[in-house]
Amino acid sequence: MAARVVIFFKTMQAARCPTDELSLTNCAVVSEKDLQSGQHVTVKTTPNHKFVFTVKTHHTVSPGSIAFSLPQRKWAGLSIGQEVEVANYNFDKSKQCIGAMTIEIDFLQKKSTDSSPYDSDKMAAEFIQQFNNQAFSVTQQLVFSFCDKLFGLMVKDIEAMDASILRGETASGKKQKIDIGLMVGNSQVIFEKAESSSLTLVGKAKTKEARQTIINPEWNFEKMGIGGLDKEFSSIFRRAFASRVFPPDIVEQMGCKHVKGIMLFGPPGCGKTLMARQIGKMLNAREPKVVNGPEILNKYVGESEANIRKLFADAEEEQKRLGANSGLHIIIFDELDAICKQRGTGASSTGVHDTVVNQLLSKIDGVEQLNNILVIGMTNRPDLIDDALMRPGRFEVKMEISLPDEKGRVQILTIHTNKMRSFNLLAPDVDIKELAAETKNYSGAELEGLVRAAQSTAMNRHIKATSTVEVDMERAEKLQVTRSDFMGSLNNDIKPAFGTNQEDYSNYIMNGIIKWGDPVTHVLDDGELLIQQTKNSDRTPLVAVLLEGPPHCGKTALAAKIAEDSQFPFIKICSPEKMIGYSEIAKCQAIKKVFDDACKSQLSCVVVDDIERLLDYVPIGPRFSNLVLQALLVLLKRAPPKGRKLLIIGTTSRKDVLQEMEMLDAFSTTIHIPNISTGEQLVDALELLGSFTDKERANIAHQLKGKRVWIGIKKLLVLIEMSLQMDQEYRVTKFLSLLRDEGADRSFYE
């Protein structure tokens, strides 16, 4: 308490304030015969309790009496007729002028509440004007009239004005709390809404204290077990949380509304659910409500909608009670596509999905919209979600959580091996960067599974499986997970769902590529150019090439070889042999899934094999599937998403048919693959295959010298293998005989 001069001069009797107008002045009222208006006095109610008031004179007050309003009597604990000691009080203006005062405000009477916003800046200006040069104390209660409404106020906190400012100097920055202060013209008044109040305040002067950041200061990606999602978190923060971190007065001046919905979509296992849960931990908010989409549905009429309402009930109640001071409520919907399908598409007579979507729409962005919610939806199938949910104001932030890149995989593997490393259970030969390079197209869940598989392999080495299974404790104490454990699990245990299945294309090139002549070399060279174009060109993210040629000329093998040489993380062969028995619609969906999956990887290669078989083409009629044709025409021309590259390799034996179907225009270029057409090329092929002896090959070369042949490499392999089943002395004769029979109509000329 600052030093002051106090002169006790008389005992007075407490009285009731004579008029309502005087009650609003916040002054104690006395007779002009006792004191002068504007004086400050201490009122001592008990030996240990003193209160400071500013006085005002009025002719109706009897000499020897001092009148107080009801809030003043409550604050000071005074009763009518009580004797109090009154003395002068002199403020030390170098230490007791109010720099900033925080006041809690609420409607004086509950029945007079309304939802109109009150400008706290105007309120503060009028407060200073009404109560200028008056004394205020911490915990003091008073009544304030503003815009014809009465408000009950309570002083929460007082800071002294910096003495440097009073001397006309630059502020020193020091802040000092005081119990009693004098209101002056340049004091700052900050209003805070009472906790249970329904009052709505707008403007700068509605909060004083530095806002507590909604971002948890202990937030750390690695501690939370998140890796490879830095870019996604950055985008979500910019869109969804920047407005909640910024000072509210600036947000209000901009007319900015908070984002209320985030949609996370992407392949399974990439961290959507993990990310949603960690957003709740990242924020200084209450624990998020997590609900699986199917849990909302109920067989009883109206119960599904009621389940939606229950999720938002707490947020509604708190917003009604606290208004803008309400905390953030986070609601997480997993498998959102289960309850929010396109309206009007369900076959059910109840239309329960439609009403659930309607209920969710009304809660997020209805007439009585909530501003204290953040709804996070997750799905693997964003195409199934009702369009109305995806517009701005609802799930307006749409974020794809895609497969992690190499840098992301390093982060994820580091997170999952941190504990092993800290306890020296990870062998020095394990290189995380090497593993990240080897795990193209692995999702976060698959990388975690890879670490588990390597751990299991390492532990299995220390288990003795005899008549009983027991652990060799002596060796177990030296347990370490090595590079070979990871590589073994990589090759045998964990395969990426969206990766390259080597078995897919290894069957097509199990005999290798036989470079029987320049045509094969040219095809492989052109294939390498197309791979480099796909990797390096930003102008052509989609490259489509058609390999066409006669049957059995090795088109599929060459397509598989080009795909393998690309070393793209995603390689899939769309083959008719995998769609035997499929209906037209099922076939379209299977083909579309291959292309959709390809768009989820940074670099992808899709081989569309034997296109005329995919189209169910037969020359009798002719007949083909128009539905599959139209689907292929669309998918072959559909560019991948931004930042993704796609190489499509098609194969066909009926270029003329595709020309009639106008499918050739869907390919960037066409490469012709011929049959073996000369005896020299055939002998070169035999030499590369190494099937006959040198003498036998010389005999075959002599027989074919100067003659033309026309046979595919695939058919040639069959004839060679058939000939090799004969006795050695008859093999050449049998081979030449088979070659003549194969080309009897057009292929073998004398």
- Residues with active-site annotation: 555-556, 609-610, 637, 714
Look up residue 691 and give its two tokens: 């099937």
Which residues, including other chains, have CB under 8 Å from residue 423's CB and lie 6 or more apart? none
123 neighbors 205 (Cβ within 8 angstroms)? yes
Kind and range of the H or E run holding 233: helix 230-236
| The one-letter amino acid at 75 | W
Residue whose entry in the numeric block shows the structure tokens 């999905």: 353
Look up residue 199 and give its two tokens: 């009052």
671 neighbors 525 (Cβ within 8 angstroms)? no
Pairing of strands 180-182, 669-672: unpaired
User: Which of 584, 609, 406 is closest to 507 using CA atoms?
Assistant: 609
178 neighbors 158 (Cβ within 8 angstroms)? yes
Question: Which strand ranges, in their side-by-side order, compose the sheet holding 289-292?
Answer: 289-292, 329-334, 373-379, 261-265, 397-400
Q: Computed from CA positions of residues 210, 214, 216, 222, in that sequence, does the dihedral angle turn out positive or negative?
A: negative
End-to-end CA distance of the chain: 123
User: Which of 624, 606, 601, 600 is closest to 562 using CA atoms?
Assistant: 606
Residue whose entry in the numeric block shows the structure tokens 């517009």: 391
Which residues, including other chains, have CB under 8 Å from residue 532's CB and lie 6 or more apart? none
Rg for the chain, CA atoms, rounded? 42
Rounding to the nearest 10 degrees, give the CA dihedral for residues 583, 584, 585, 587. Answer: 80
User: Which of 127, 141, 2 is closest to 68 using CA atoms?
Assistant: 141
Q: How many helices (H) and strands (E) does the chain have?
A: 27, 28
89 neighbors 6 (Cβ within 8 angstroms)? yes
Question: Apex CA 39: angle with CA 35 and CA 43, to 5°?
Answer: 80
Three-state SS at 517: coil
